[in-house]
Amino acid sequence: MFPNLDRPLIVFDLETTGLNMATDSIIQISYIKVMPDGTEKRVDHFVNPGKPIPAVVAELTHITDDMVKDAPTFAQLAADLAADFEGCDFAGYNSNGFDIPMLCEEFLRAGINFNFAKSRLIDACTIFKRMEQRNLAAAYKFYTGHKMEDDFTAHRANEDTEATWAVLKGQLDMYAPGKQEEPERQLPNDMDAIAAFCAPKQQFLDFAGRLVVNEKGEEIINFGKYKGRLAREVLPQDPGYVSWVLFGDFTRDTKRWFSYLQSKYAKR
C-alpha cells in the first residue's frame, strides 16, 4: 500500500565509518524522495569522510577508501541536501535511533542547523519490532515474500534503502485496519499516526538521548552522575559539568542543548 502522503517523504539510509555520532562520519547517503503524487526520485552519494575507512567497515559495506577518495565531503553536499530535504518527512530503518541523529550531526558540522522537529520521522524498524520483532532481512522476507540476499547486496545504503521502501509499503498493506482485527495491530495510512507510532515513549531533547523531558515539560539529565536530575537545578550549581559536556566527546546536538539550557537557567 502506498503511504497517504501530504508532503514529500525521504526514505533514506546511511553508511558510516562507525557508530559514534560524535566522531564518525558518513561514507554513503542514499535516498528516495517520494512525492504525494507518487513520483519517486532516487539519489545516491558516496561521501569522502576525510579519514580512512576502518577495515571492519570496508569489509561490511564493501566501500573502500579508493571508492570515496574523489567523492565530495558531506560539507560540500550539505546545502543541496538541506534544500532537497526542506519540507519533507523522513523514513528509514532504525533511522530514529541512528540515521537521523547522525545526519543531524553532519549538518551541524557543516554549519547547517536543519530543523528535523518540523518533520515527521517514520521508522520502519520500530514498526517491525513492535509488530514482529525481527531485523531488515527478516522484515523484507516477511513483507515481500522474497529473500533479501536474492534481491540485494547486503550493507549497501542504496540497496538497503530499496528494501526499506518495500518493507514500509508492505507494512501499510499488512496492518491496514481492514486486514487486522486487533486494534493494537492496526496502523492507519496516515503520516501523523505512523510518526506517533514510531515515536519513543520518552521525549528526547537531543537525538542522543542525553536530555529528556518529563510529563511536566521539565528538562531532565538522562546520563551519568546527575541522571534523573532537573537541568534547571544542576546546571547553575555546577558550571564545570557543563564545560565537561561542551568540551567532551559528545555530539554537537547534545552540546547545543546543554549550551541553550545553561543560558536559560544561568544565575541572575
Residues 234-245: tens digit of each pLDDT: 999 999 999 999
**What domains are there in the chain, each with its CATH number?**
9-199 (3.30.420.10), 211-264 (no CATH)
pLDDT in the model for residue 257: 96
Task: Grade residue 11 by pLDDT with cuts at 50, 70 and 90.
Answer: very high
pLDDT at 214 > cutoff 80: yes
Average pLDDT along the chain: 94
Using the predicted structure, report yes or no on whether residue 268 has a pLDDT greater than 70: no
Q: How far apart are CA 142 and CA 132, in angstroms?
A: 9
- pLDDT surpasses 80 at 75: yes
Judging by DSSP bridges, how do beta strands 89-92 and 121-123 pair with one another? parallel
Confidence of residue 267 (pLDDT cuts 50, 70, 90): low
pLDDT for position 209: 92
Output the pLDDT for position 47. 98
pLDDT at 133: 62
| Digit-coded pLDDT (tens) for 130-189 | 887 678 888 899 899 998 888 887 678 999 999 999 999 999 999 999 898 899 899 999
pLDDT over threshold 80, residue 201: no
Say what the pLDDT of residue 29 is. 98
Share of the chain above pLDDT 90, in %: 85
Checking if the pLDDT of 79 tops 60, the result is yes
User: Which of 145, 84, 105 lies closest to 17 in space, CA to CA?
Assistant: 105
- Exposure of 116 by Cβ count < 10 A (0-12 exposed, 13-18 middle, 19+ buried)? middle
Contact 27, 55 (CB under 8 A): no
Measured CA to CA, the distance from residue 123 to residue 141 in angstroms comes to: 18
Looking at residues 53-73, what average pLDDT do you find?
96
Pick the closest to residue 8 from 149, 136, 133, 118 (CA basis). Answer: 118
User: How confident is the model at residue 138, as a pLDDT?
Assistant: 87
Reading the block at residue 10, the C-alpha cell is: 525521504
Average pLDDT over residues 35-64: 96
Instruction: Give CA–CA dist 189/165, Å, rounded.
Output: 15
Mean pLDDT of 92-115: 96
> Percent of the chain beyond pLDDT 70?
99
What CA–CA distance (Å, rounded) separates 184 from 175?
A: 10
Residue with cell 528494501: 163
What's the pLDDT at 253? 97
